[in-house]
Amino acid sequence: MKVFRGLSHSIPDRPCALTIGNFDGVHLGHQALLAQVRQAANRLNASASVMTFEPHPREFFAMRVGHADKAPTRISNLRDNMNAMALAGMDNIIVEHFNATFANQSPHDFIEKVLVRGLRVKWLMVGEDFCFGAKRAGNVKMLQEAGQQYGFEVVTLPTVTSSGKRISSSSVREALAVGDFKTSFALIGHPFTISGRVVHGQKLGRTIGFPTLNLRFAHQRPAVHGVFVVQVHGLNEQPMPAVASLGVRPTVEDAGRVLLETHVFDYNESCYGKLVQVEFLQKIRDEQKFPDMASMTAAIHQDAETARAYFRQHGISTIPLRGNRSKSATDRI
């Protein structure tokens, strides 16, 4: 799979079947859409392509007016979203930098410069309520008219439902916000995970008997936050039991940096730089600020015991994850 950071320096080498969207979490609705893109690409001898955006358009507009708290929480990082698209059979991912210039282009310019000249679209699938261009002035009808003019087909995907309820990124976020991993599984089709390379931290955990694997979360508003029972993939052949905290660490840091800190039970090997997946199993509690280190250490001991008790009762989860990581996608992040 090829990854294009916008279309300013290079374009895909052949016409494409394309879909456009944010694809946060790549839930079952997204997966149904991507499957149809793959089928159309095969039929038309075109590349199966996705255009997505960074940052999320709603995040861009929220930050622009000084209301960062109104930005949507992020289900997955870009690496995990791209990995899911690769597993769905996409050939190209175009990651457009969403900024004022991109947001202010007219619908006509987007169609002509991006879709026709930039991507040579032969087939396009979007949601029924898809809007684009400055002030969201472009719509599906406009795309269909342009398709007749420029020679590409426009298809809309009806809403995908589960048990009568619409599957959406918003519904996934709602489930994750309360630690409802059973519902998130039903919406995304696999256990919820966050992946990344292990980085150096402050190494405070090892001084109190809880060394951690640290993964950076690039965005300030993760859809999950708190302390969790987790298991870690990528250190051994089998997943390893652990306890993890995802948040801003209010007791020891006030810079607002989001970090996923994971203490793997009975494991003390160096793993800096390794690519791991942290699978979330159960929420223990919300993140909190403690009055002193002694109080925080006592809480960590209790969290670890809660997690160990979980594994004594349930054992290691053997539910398959999304699939093998795609180096062609993830090594570019």
Same-domain pairing of 154 and 102: yes
Express each pLDDT in 301-317 by its tens digit: 999 999 999 999 999 99
3-class DSSP state of 210 = coil
Domain carrying residue 228: 190-326
Instruction: Examine the pLDDT at 331 and tell me if it is beyond 50.
Output: no
Q: Compute the mean pLDDT over every residue in the chain, rounded to the nearest whole number.
A: 89
Express each pLDDT in 227-251 by its tens digit: 999 999 999 999 999 999 999 876 6
Express each pLDDT in 64-98 by its tens digit: 877 878 889 999 999 999 999 999 999 999 999 99
CATH code of the domain covering residue 145: 3.40.50.620
> What percent of the chain has pLDDT above 70?
91
Instruction: Examine the pLDDT at 324 and tell me if it is beyond 90.
Output: no
Q: What are phi and psi of 307, to 5 degrees?
A: -65, -40
Same-domain pairing of 161 and 232: no
Confidence of residue 333 (pLDDT cuts 50, 70, 90): very low
CA-closest candidate to residue 111, choices 150, 164, 141, 54? 150
**How many Å apart are CA 257 and CA 222, to the nearest integer?**
11
CATH code of the domain covering residue 300: 2.40.30.30
Environment class of 92 (CB within 10 Å of its CB; exposed 0-12, middle 13-18, buried 19+): buried
CA 235, 239, 244: angle at the middle one, nearest 5? Answer: 85
Confidence of residue 63 (pLDDT cuts 50, 70, 90): confident
Same-domain pairing of 162 and 197: no
Q: How many Å separate Cα 79 from the centre of its chain?
A: 7
Same-domain pairing of 94 and 223: no
Residue 177 lies in a domain: no
Instruction: Examine the pLDDT at 170 and tell me if it is beyond 70.
Output: yes
Express each pLDDT in 7-59 by its tens digit: 766 677 889 999 999 999 999 999 999 999 999 999 999 999 999 999 888 88
Task: Give the E-state strand segments of the chain in sequence order.
Answer: 2-4, 16-20, 47-54, 92-97, 121-127, 153-157, 161-162, 165-166, 193-197, 213-216, 226-233, 240-247, 259-264, 275-285
Peptide bond into 320 cis (omega under 30): no
What is the helix (H) or strand (E) element at residue 267, kind and residue range?
none
Strand partners, 123: 17, 153
